[in-house]
Structure 1
Amino acid sequence: MSLKSIVRELKEMRDGIGSMSRRGGSGSDGRAAGHARSGSRHSWPSLWAEQQQPRHQHQGRWADLPPELLLDVIQRVESSEATWPARRQVVACAAVCRSWREVTKDVVKTLEECGRITFPISLKQPGPRELPVQCFVRRERATSTYLLYLGLSPSMNVENDKLLLAARKVRRATRTSFVISLVSDDFSRSSSTYVGKLKPNFLGTKFTIFDSQPPPDAVALPNNRPSKRQSKQVSPRLPLGNYNVATVTYELTVLRNRGPRRMQCTMHSIPAECIQEGGKAPTPTGTVQSLDEPVPTLPSTTKGKEVAVQFSSTSLSADLSGPVSGNEAPLVLKNKAPRWHEQLQCWCLNFRGRVTVASVKNFQLVASVDPSLNVPAAEQEKVILQFGKIGKDIFTMDYRYPLSAFQAFAICLTSFDTKPAC
């Protein structure tokens, strides 16, 4: 039997498992499964449906493959399907059964190591060190929705565009906020697709990025407020909440025509030492929750009250690598200063062809490090995140180590919010 035939049969088995799970599920689990099967380009392949299987349910003939043969099959699929949408076959292998998922988890390397986005957990992992991950953002004004896709630019066949993350602007009486999800049609904070949120202050000069999961250092900041909502998340062994992982500030200006914006990002979950030679950024390594491990719950006291939860790095050692000490200085990013072009009469930055339209939203971020860290000048000049406009409601976003796709997307969303004082 050819490799393509094997993969095709695996997809049929995965769909069958998902169907059995949806028939047997109810309540919130059934609702999550429904969202997972929405439009192919607007959703990640369902990996959570498998969790509803009984422990001893018969998983088909492919579960009994010899380990050596199983490893060879998955390695061949992983190496041959390097780009989306073909890389869905790798995700299909992880959804067959427990044994297939464990082998797939070992074969698929982290985003930093292989430069390929495979599972939803890849969106929380640092990007590759050398070449950036190139994405584009599509803004839908009618629904105040922002869609992050993987790729150089929108393709002619929109079905081939891989949706990574989606965000929706929620307007309130005094301020707005952005809710970030894995899909484009469900932004509920109690959903299994909820990833995090972005919250600005009234003037639009300070933005706080909240993650639905604790940072790898497992230290809850004083203003973290874990929620009692429970869900199977990108790293679902940890309780769901809102954890402050980064702060983006814009310089306050009284006169708005005094040059380009100035911004600074403080990454609370990333130590400044990670950009040194041999440094390592915290990297979540889980794919999906194990079938035999329940989702933990947050303790609660009285109705309507929330309790802060303290975490230790030892409790996360099985799923997260590179724990960050609480006394390490966080990584600080600053926007690269543009230069004034006399002929064009505008401020310019070298985006290397990735940005074609002048906009106040365009920026490049570089590391702002203490001289005591002895970081080479070339490393300090390396662009970690760049964002810019290429057409009406179309923007490019390129990020690299040590930022993740989620962190980079949240930082870029700050450009879309109204800034009365900037």
Structure 2
Amino acid sequence: MEASRCRLGPRGDSAFEDETMKLRQLKLDNQRALLEKKQRKKRLEPLMVQPNPEARLRRSKPRVGSSATEEDTEGSVDGESTVDTAPKPDLQEILQKHGISGSLNFDEEETDGEEEGKKLCHSPYSDAERPNSASSQKSTTDTGAYGTAAQQSDNQLGEVENLEDFAYSPAPRGITVKCRITRDKKGMDRGLFPTYYMHLEKDENRKIFLLAGRKRKKSKTSNYLISTDPTDLSREGESYIGKLRSNLMGTKFTVYDHGVSPAKAQGLVEKAYTRQELAAICYETNVLGFKGPRKMSVIIPGMNMNHERIPFRPRNDHESLLSKWQNKTMENLIELHNKSPVWNDDTQSYVLNFHGRVTQASVKNFQIVHENDPDYIVMQFGRVADDVFTLDYNYPLCALQAFAIGLSSFDSKLACE
């Protein structure tokens, strides 16, 4: 009898292990289902940033004696198609009260005085650096101008020959680099630690892989490793290109290249490549619990006369991008902010004009601009499906900076919600 029990022992252990694995998988599936249900419910709230549905109205001739508003002049750029209606005065009043009627790219007829005022306003970018998609000038056709600009950008961008060089190089001036981010939650633990892939969108629905990123599991703070190889996301891998690291609260992030930290570099016998800081992302804390869209600032190194990024290698925390920004010592640095969405009384939601590149509401939807030139969209990011997002960026950002900024929006921010 005893011998029989011994023979059955290994089978019993195996069955027990199988049962344990099944229970663990069931628990993970339940957690993932609850999380997805919560996210779907959250996206229905009016506090999500919506693509502006009124920007997709059919073009009609502007009425005599009035400026052409977005309802009159914008082609099919965002949201669901709707029947052409007259402009809503209450929305216009809200925009004028906030002084941000230009923030939704209203294509208004400009007077000579307005044109002179725009020329006097200092902008960090020249006209050549501004892509057509960021311009607020009136197009000659309904949607042709935006499509033509996209085709021209695709031709001028050319093929990606070296992923690492492309990832580090600023976007060509005057060209919008259009990308797509996909989130992969499949697998045992990817519901909690998904992998993110960045692809360059080309014509004829072609996609070119650029970067992949994944959150490290055993880290005190959020830490994302970024690689040019989708199959190797290790720190020691040859394709490791940079990382995104947050503070304990998840409100401040720093983007590094693949170099070593200054502390480790000092201890090495051979001269090591000290890492560069490529960007810092700061989300405004919400300690009082006020509801509304996220507010974020992005700090990046400045550009030299040859339109190349100025290397920024701090030797300690006091010289970091975050420290410089907090101390307002911004020499050779560029400070960017997210564009403030506008509250729409009709839809009871915050709206932004993403020119058709964003189709679903999400707290992650945002546009990055410089305060001196709010019409020039340096970067925009938004949801088009449950696990698919578009990411478009312009000069002076590079692919690695843009991807890391997008990754920071996925990270949970307890102090910001």
With the length of structure 2 as denominator, give the TM-score of the two structures.
Answer: 0.52
Q: 1:166 aligns with which of 212, 219, 223?
A: 212
Is 1:126 matched with 2:176? no
* Pair 260,213 (structure 1): closer, same or farther in 2 beyond 3 Å: same
Is 1:280 matched with 2:274? no
Tell me what 1:19 maps to. none
Tell me what 1:209 maps to. 255
Aligned-partner SS, 1:167 = strand
For residues 341 and 217 of structure 2, what CA distance do their matches in structure 1 show?
A: 32
Deviation at 1:328, TM superposition (A): 3.4
Tell me what 1:76 maps to. none
CA contact (8 A) 2:339 2:374 kept: no
For residues 153 and 113 of structure 1, what CA distance do their matches in structure 2 show?
A: 9
Tell me what 1:382 maps to. 376
| 1:22-70 Cα deviation digits (max 9, x unpaired) | xxxxxxxxxxxxxxxxxxxxxxxxxxxxxxxxxxxxxxxxxxxxxxxxx
Tell me what 1:266 maps to. 299
Q: 1:245 aligns with which of 278, 284, 290?
A: 278
Please tell me the residue identity of whatever aligns with 1:385.
Answer: M
CA contact (8 A) 1:112 1:125 kept: no
For residues 270 and 115 of structure 1, what CA distance do their matches in structure 2 show?
A: 23
Tell me what 2:133 maps to. none
Tell me what 1:192 maps to. 238
Tell me what 2:181 maps to. 137
* Pair 194,173 (structure 1): closer, same or farther in 2 beyond 3 Å: closer
Please tell me the residue identity of whatever aligns with 1:163.
Answer: F
Tell me what 2:370 maps to. 367
* Pair 361,153 (structure 1): closer, same or farther in 2 beyond 3 Å: farther
Aligned-partner SS, 1:261 = coil
State the identity %. Answer: 36
CA contact (8 A) 2:170 2:396 kept: yes
For residues 385 and 332 of structure 2, what CA distance do their matches in structure 1 show?
A: 38
Please tell me the residue identity of whatever aligns with 1:419.
Answer: K
For residues 170 and 189 of structure 1, what CA distance do their matches in structure 2 show?
A: 10
* Pair 348,380 (structure 1): closer, same or farther in 2 beyond 3 Å: closer
Please tell me the residue identity of whatever aligns with 1:251.
Answer: E
* Pair 174,133 (structure 1): closer, same or farther in 2 beyond 3 Å: same
CA contact (8 A) 2:285 2:415 kept: yes
Tell me what 1:356 maps to. 359
Is 1:337 matched with 2:335? no
Please tell me the residue identity of whatever aligns with 1:119.
Answer: N
For residues 294 and 199 of structure 2, what CA distance do their matches in structure 1 show?
A: 26
* Pair 177,360 (structure 1): closer, same or farther in 2 beyond 3 Å: same
Deviation at 1:192, TM superposition (A): 1.2
CA contact (8 A) 1:227 1:242 kept: no
Please tell me the residue identity of whatever aligns with 1:362.
Answer: N
Q: 2:201 aligns with which of 128, 139, 151?
A: 151
Aligned-partner SS, 2:384 = strand
Please tell me the residue identity of whatever aligns with 2:222.
Answer: T
For residues 136 and 228 of structure 1, what CA distance do their matches in structure 2 show?
A: 40
| 1:271-296 Cα deviation digits (max 9, x unpaired) | 4xx6xxx7723289xxxxxxxxxxxx
CA contact (8 A) 1:208 1:246 kept: yes
Tell me what 2:411 maps to. 417
Please tell me the residue identity of whatever aligns with 1:263.
Answer: M
The correspondence of residues 39-50 of structure 1 with structure 2, limited to 5 A, is none
CA contact (8 A) 2:242 2:255 kept: yes
Deviation at 1:137, TM superposition (A): 0.2
Deviation at 1:331, TM superposition (A): 0.7
CA contact (8 A) 1:148 1:409 kept: yes
Tell me what 1:254 maps to. 287
Please tell me the residue identity of whatever aligns with 1:128.
Answer: P
Please tell me the residue identity of whatever aligns with 2:406.
Answer: C
Backbone CA RMSD of aligned residues: 3.4
Deviation at 1:256, TM superposition (A): 4.4
Aligned-partner SS, 2:302 = strand
For residues 403 and 392 of structure 1, what CA distance do their matches in structure 2 show?
A: 26
Structure 1: which 5+ runs fail to align?
Answer: 1-110, 215-219, 230-237, 285-307, 310-325, 369-376
Structure 2: which 5+ runs fail to align?
Answer: 1-152, 317-328
Deviation at 1:171, TM superposition (A): 2.7
Deviation at 1:115, TM superposition (A): 2.3
Please tell me the residue identity of whatever aligns with 1:264.
Answer: S
CA contact (8 A) 1:199 1:207 kept: yes
Deviation at 1:177, TM superposition (A): 0.8
Please tell me the residue identity of whatever aligns with 2:383.
Answer: K
* Pair 243,225 (structure 1): closer, same or farther in 2 beyond 3 Å: farther
Deviation at 1:197, TM superposition (A): 0.3
Please tell me the residue identity of whatever aligns with 1:141.
Answer: K
Aligned-partner SS, 1:412 = helix
CA contact (8 A) 1:355 1:396 kept: yes
For residues 154 and 258 of structure 1, what CA distance do their matches in structure 2 show?
A: 41
Deviation at 1:187, TM superposition (A): 1.4
For residues 259 and 349 of structure 2, what CA distance do their matches in structure 1 show?
A: 42
Please tell me the residue identity of whatever aligns with 2:399.
Answer: A
For residues 368 and 374 of structure 2, what CA distance do their matches in structure 1 show?
A: 10
With the length of structure 1 as denominator, give the TM-score of the two structures.
Answer: 0.51
Aligned-partner SS, 1:253 = coil
Q: Which has the higher contact order (CA 8 A, sep 6+)?
A: 2
| 1:95-131 Cα deviation digits (max 9, x unpaired) | xxxxxxxxxxxxxxxx999423332201111112223
* Pair 360,256 (structure 1): closer, same or farther in 2 beyond 3 Å: farther
Deviation at 1:212, TM superposition (A): 1.2
| 1:245-275 Cα deviation digits (max 9, x unpaired) | 22110001024452100000111x324xx6x
Larger-Rg structure: 2
Deviation at 1:185, TM superposition (A): 1.3
CA contact (8 A) 2:381 2:406 kept: yes
CA contact (8 A) 1:247 1:266 kept: yes
